[in-house]
């Protein structure tokens, strides 16, 4: 038996084990014309380039990190939601779960994202507007009421105060009788892309990186099923980057987090398996598929060859995808359903582990229930009706896809070498390099749209007059005052002596070098607010004011 035959044999054994783990998926797959669909194509061909492409579930994972991919189990359908109060968002969560969503994804309002309570002067007019307002453990309890945290995986799009929101989630689970070892989910926790593209930072880079590595170490010991960071290219792309820049800058940031964790004394195989990524999906279908395939290959080589990680799970790039918010148009919003379908299909064909599909009205407002349901149904139709999940990596072997994958890897590698020459991602951010690259690309794209060289259907071409605006979701304008009243009641009912003691202990910890997660968790359990906790850290760490 030659090497190729041995690897094929091992792959087939791996797929059998995978299928046994997920018996809910049928064994026989066929087209509407009753043609049987094989698990994988090209595997028996003599000219199959196994050294270059590998097999699904095998290094360098170009063809996917699981040997069977969706043949055994579909991706997690994780719709992003959050608006107004915790109680309102809880209703939306339970509605989406009832509609067949398989994981939660929380959007927080701007005050929460930058560590201010709803009664702070900086929060005026923003409470509950672009996400849910969370001031304390009391709000988190309301947000997650009647949701079994040992059964539902939750992603939280939170960065600068990620440690605090994770602590709140752990504390709610404890109140449900669920230990931290049993909860699963992801915190975004990616501060570098905030400096580059999004802007919801609080602290300077050095203490921010300390908080991130503290989370890595804490979760390794106490929350082993939690993804401790979602290294995000999504917002880099939303800021105007192209596909190559999105991938290159995201990988560079990932490398910086690995370096920081190693410098903090962590072993690479202790934290790398819990790193996750978050990518955008735009309209250039084949380029997006190639981007996802190249991402896995680049990361696998980096972790195995550069960092010498031993655990194969450390080599595997796992990622969530969200369809491109910046591609949606306020004009003819129903066209966005088509855009989202194309983008979602590229993510599935590219091998995503979970997916959020944007709603048709998101260029105008937060999505209505009807729009959110259509977005979720888009994923369900792709999964259950299209047949694209019936075989592993169905586009592999396409001359065009393989060429694009190779070119993507080459161009991304050039950017990574440039960033390394600048001293790495943190240094490149401090020098404004990545920001300038994104701004230039965004400017050139906008010029192309305005000149009509790039057609946006319904916006600069194929337009209609006198459009009727769809019904939009409106957040209660009185929510800010209601949140203030809730905070006043909380502060009058809690044990202020314990609150003061917890915040004093956090201050002392911030002045030293101990892991801050246990101290933050203690603060949260005694109902210290996010503003109070971030206030202590602002005083000790300072605030980042930009480049």
Alpha helices in 320-432 (DSSP H): 335-350, 369-385, 399-421, 425-430
- pLDDT, average across residues 326-340: 97
pLDDT of residue 47: 47
Residue 54 confidence (pLDDT): 81
Q: Are 63 and 394 in contact, with CB atoms under 8 Å apart? A: no
Question: Positive or negative, the Cα torsion across 525, 122, 111, 207?
Answer: negative
In the numeric block, which tokens belong to residue 394?
């169905």
Residue 33, SS3 per DSSP: coil
* pLDDT of 27: 65
Label residue 498 exposed, middle or buried (CB < 10 Å: 0-12, 13-18, 19+). Answer: middle
> For 31-40, 68-77, 238-247, 299-308, which range has the lowest pLDDT when averaged over its residues?
31-40
- The answer to whether residue 244 scores a pLDDT higher than 60 is yes
Residue 1: pLDDT band (50, 70, 90) is: low
Please state, as a whole number, how many other Cβ atoms lie within 10 Å of the Cβ of residue 351.
27
- CA–CA distances in Å: residue 547 to residues 110, 163, 185, 204, 420: 21, 24, 32, 11, 19
Q: How far is it, in rounded angstroms, from Cα 54 to Cα 62? A: 7
Domains of the chain, residue spans = 69-451
For 39, 286, 498, the CA distances from 398, given in Å and listed in that order, are 17, 10, 63
Mean pLDDT value across residues 518-523: 98
Domain 69-451 has CATH 3.50.50.60: no
Other CB atoms within a 10 A radius of the CB of residue 287 amount to: 18
What average pLDDT does range 537-547 have in this prediction? 92
Residue 102 has pLDDT above 50, yes or no: yes
User: What is the rounded CA–CA span in Å between residue 104 and residue 287?
Assistant: 28
DSSP 8-state assignment for residue 274: G
Tell me what pLDDT residue 155 has.
Answer: 95
Pick from 152, 90, 85, 107: nearest CA to 487:
85
Mean pLDDT over 14-25 rounds to 75
At 12 the pLDDT is 81
Strands (E), 394-502: none
The rounded distance, in Å, linking the Cα atoms of 291 and 311 is: 24
pLDDT digits (tens, 9 = 90+) for 23-75: 666 667 777 767 788 877 766 654 456 666 788 999 999 999 999 999 989 99
Structural tokens at position 213: 């590595």
End-to-end Cα distance, the chain:
60
The stretch 191-207 carries a mean pLDDT of 96
Q: pLDDT value at position 21? A: 74
Count CB neighbours of 204 within 10 A. Answer: 16
pLDDT at 439 over 70: yes
Residue tagged 């003819």 (tokens) = 332
Predicted model pTM? 0.92
| Average pLDDT score over the chain | 93
314, containing H or E segment: helix 312-315
Q: What is the pLDDT of residue 10?
A: 83
CA torsion angle for 449, 454, 455, 459 (degrees, to 10)?
-10
Whether the pLDDT of residue 278 is over 70: the answer is yes
């Amino acid at each position: 038996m030659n090497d190729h035959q041995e690897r094929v044999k091992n792959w087939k054994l791996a797929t059998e084990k995978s299928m046994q783990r997920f018996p809910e998926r049928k064994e026989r797959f066929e087209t509407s014309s009753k043609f049987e669909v094989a698990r994988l194509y090209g595997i028996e061909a003599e000219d199959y380039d196994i050294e270059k492409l590998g097999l699904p579930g095998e290094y360098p994972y170009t063809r996917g990190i699981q040997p069977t991919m969706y043949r055994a189990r579909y991706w997690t359908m994780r719709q992003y939601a959050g608006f107004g109060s915790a109680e309102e968002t809880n209703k939306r969560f339970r509605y989406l779960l009832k509609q067949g969503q398989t994981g939660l994804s929380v959007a927080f309002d701007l005050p929460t994202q930058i560590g201010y309570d709803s009664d702070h002067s900086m929060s005026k007019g923003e409470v509950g507007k672009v996400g849910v307002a969370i001031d304390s453990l009391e709000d988190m309890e309301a947000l997650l009421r009647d949701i079994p945290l040992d059964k539902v995986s939750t992603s939280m799009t939170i960065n600068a105060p990620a440690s605090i929101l994770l602590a709140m989630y752990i504390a709610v689970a404890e109140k449900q009788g669920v230990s931290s070892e049993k909860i699963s989910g992801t915190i975004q926790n990616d501060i570098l892309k905030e400096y580059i593209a999004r802007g919801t930072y609080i602290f300077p880079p050095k203490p921010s990186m300390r908080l991130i590595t503290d989370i890595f170490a804490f979760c390794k010991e106490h929350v082993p099923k939690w993804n401790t960071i979602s290294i995000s290219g999504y917002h880099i792309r939303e800021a105007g980057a192209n596909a190559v820049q999105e991938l290159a800058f995201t990988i560079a940031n990932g490398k910086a987090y690995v370096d920081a964790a190693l410098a903090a004394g962590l072993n690479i195989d202790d934290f790398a398996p819990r790193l996750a990524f978050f990518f955008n999906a735009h309209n250039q279908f084949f380029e997006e598929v190639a981007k996802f395939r190249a991402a896995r290959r680049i990361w696998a080589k980096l972790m195995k060859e550069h960092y010498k990680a031993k655990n194969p799970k450390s080599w595997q790039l796992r990622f969530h995808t969200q369809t491109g918010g910046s591609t949606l148009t306020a004009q003819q919003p129903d066209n966005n359903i088509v855009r989202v379908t194309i983008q979602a299909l590229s993510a599935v064909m590219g091998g995503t582990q979970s997916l959020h599909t944007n709603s048709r009205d998101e260029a105008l407002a937060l999505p209505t229930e009807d729009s959110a349901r259509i977005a979720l149904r888009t994923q369900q139709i792709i999964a259950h009706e299209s047949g694209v999940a019936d075989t592993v990596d169905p586009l592999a072997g396409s001359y065009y896809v393989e060429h694009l994958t190779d070119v993507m890897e080459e161009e991304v590698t050039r950017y990574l070498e440039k960033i390394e020459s600048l001293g790495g991602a943190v240094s490149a951010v401090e020098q404004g390099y990545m920001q300038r690259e994104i701004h230039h690309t965004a400017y050139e794209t906008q010029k192309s749209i305005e000149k009509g060289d790039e057609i946006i259907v319904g916006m600069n071409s194929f337009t209609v007059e006198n459009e009727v605006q769809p019904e939009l979701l409106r957040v209660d304008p009185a929510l800010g005052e209601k949140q203030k009243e809730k905070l006043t009641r909380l502060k009058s009912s809690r044990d202020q002596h314990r609150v003061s003691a917890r915040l004093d202990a956090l201050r002392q910890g911030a002045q030293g070098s101990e892991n801050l997660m246990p101290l933050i968790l203690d603060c949260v359990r005694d109902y210290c607010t996010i503003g109070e906790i971030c206030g202590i850290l602002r005083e000790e760490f300072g605030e980042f004011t930009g480049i």
